[in-house]
Copies of this chain bind each other. A is one copy, B any other.
């Protein structure tokens, strides 16, 4: 029925590929009294196509968190060719949000429900002195970190587990079980990258896992203890939640090519 309706009204479902600097935003999701990426994008789309539009984003990034790759979709009867949509939107968007691609997708495509795999990368600048040219782009952590130990610890997160021990306390969700597909740690020019992919993440889960691995890196937690911490489902046994400016959404996979 929805397809017929789409056909009659010439409604299109458009998937956007975004990149944004989250420094000045209170995260993705629209909220009262705070500027968010979703609201800023919806306003730009409304200006271009005329009339209200509602955009669905692939994940709820927090205040200060960035996106190198982010998928959002919206439905509209706009007739702008897909290759022109990025230029039309970018001319209305502030410099810290950029639309890199627009693709017409099947009517039932949904940026959250159809996402099979999400990937985040957390970046720590692990050097004696803060680099002012990396402010708001990394978390600066001067203490030496044992990368081999952190890799052993990261491997403990891989698989299907209850991740209650590494999520924000007090958040409500149907299930706290997720599947982590991979968790790689690699270093480039003093920046340690923590790249983790899963079928989904609980609130603050990436930042709590990285905080736990930092505790492993300084010897406060042993890699072998992580399985017990997960089994305990107790947030206080894991490491701290690291700050938002080092976190980037870096991929989102769907059954269709975007």
Chain B binder among A124-132, A162-170, A207-215: A124-132
**Chain B residues positioned under 8 Å from A95 (CB to CB):** 130, 132, 135
Nearest CB on B from A66, distance (A): 6
Bound Cα distance A21, B135 (Å): 9
Interface residue A86 (Cβ < 8 Å from any Cβ of B) = yes
Q: Tell me the residues in window 97-133 of chain A with beta carbons closer than 8 Å to chain B beta carbons.
A: 97-98, 100, 129-133
Q: Tell me the residues in window 60-113 of chain A with beta carbons closer than 8 Å to chain B beta carbons.
A: 66, 68, 86, 90, 95-98, 100
- Selected from B66, B131, B133, the residue in CB contact (under 8 A) with A133 is B66
**Chain B residues positioned under 8 Å from A96 (CB to CB):** 132, 135
Question: Chain A, interface size: which category?
Answer: 10 to 19
Bound Cα distance A8, B135 (Å): 43
Bound Cα distance A95, B137 (Å): 13
Q: Are B132 and A97 in contact (CB under 8 A)?
A: yes
Q: Are A132 and B100 in contact (CB under 8 A)?
A: no
> Which residue, of A19, A68, A96, A132, has the highest number of chain B Cβ atoms within 10 A?
A132
**Chain B residues positioned under 8 Å from A183 (CB to CB):** none
Nearest CB on B from A136, distance (A): 9
Nearest CB on B from A67, distance (A): 9
Interface residue A20 (Cβ < 8 Å from any Cβ of B) = yes
Question: 3 shortest A-B CB distances, which residue pairs?
Answer: A21-B132, A96-B132, A100-B129
Query: Residues on A close to B: CB < 8 A?
Result: 19-21, 66, 68, 86, 90, 95-98, 100, 129-133, 135, 137
What would 22 A/B residue contacts be, using CB atoms closer than 8 Å? A19-B129, A19-B131, A19-B132, A19-B133, A20-B132, A21-B132, A21-B133, A66-B133, A68-B133, A86-B129, A90-B129, A90-B130, A95-B130, A95-B132, A95-B135, A96-B132, A97-B132, A98-B129, A98-B130, A98-B131, A100-B129, A133-B137
